[in-house]
Copies of this chain bind each other. A is one copy, B any other.
Amino acid sequence: MVDREVTFDFGRRARIGLAEAVLCDGKSVAQIEHIVALSQRRDHALLLTRLAPAAFAALDQGCRKVLDYDPVSHTAILGSCPAPAGPADVAVVSAGTSDVPVAREALRTLAFHGAAADEVLDVGVAGLWRIMERHEQLTSYRAVIVVAGMDGALFSVVGGLVGGVVIAVPTATGYGAAHGGTTALHAALVSCAPGVVVVNVGNGYGGACAALRVLGTTRADQQR
């Protein structure tokens, strides 16, 4: 009986302002279908992450039909997202083309929670003029999510340019001494710019959740 295997935390959004997301890695098709069906019955919106195209394709048709699936970010959304209000307070900045899937996971997470966000693409440090041209724009956000792999040099460059919260999301881009994102992760942690904060390698969802916490819509005193 699959049912008793899932005690879904439907109360999390009320408690900390962030809906529980379903990390699909390591879950069986039956488990995912069950969670979606359960949420649908209770009329809960749901965000699924790390749902690879092959895993999405393996879901039954009824399940697939109710999900809004994005093959770039490997995310799916059940239910509708709140319309974003006002100008964007968050930017998602990515270093190169290979970092786009992680940046998109962050953008989808922000959209799911109704937060407006801007996307800034292909501003890697090897061509420094690309990020310098965006300097003034970047100083206007309350949070900047920076998505970069390889040596993660972009984290320090952005951290030295802007005063908002800088959230580093390392990616696995690169090979050899990139060590699957570990080098970018460590670089973010020892950034020479003060106060840069870091989430796990490839965790666009976590970077977005951190930005939502910054916006303050998540805290108890804001929800009253």
Contacts and interface: CB of A to CB of B under 8 A. Distances in A.
A26 B95 CA distance: 14
A221 B16 contact: no
Nearest to A160: B126
Interface string A203-216: 10110111011101
Interface of A: 4-9, 11-12, 15-18, 20-21, 23, 25-27, 31, 50, 95-98, 100, 121-128, 130, 132, 139-140, 142, 150-153, 155-157, 159-167, 172-183, 185-203, 205-206, 208-210, 212-214, 216, 218-223
A153 to B, nearest CB: 4
A30 to B, nearest CB: 10
Q: Which 7 pairs of residues, A with B, have the shortest CB-CB distance? A: A195-B209, A176-B201, A7-B122, A163-B218, A197-B197, A151-B187, A177-B189
Number of copies of chain A assembled together: 8
A195 B132 CA distance: 23
A15 to B, nearest CB: 8
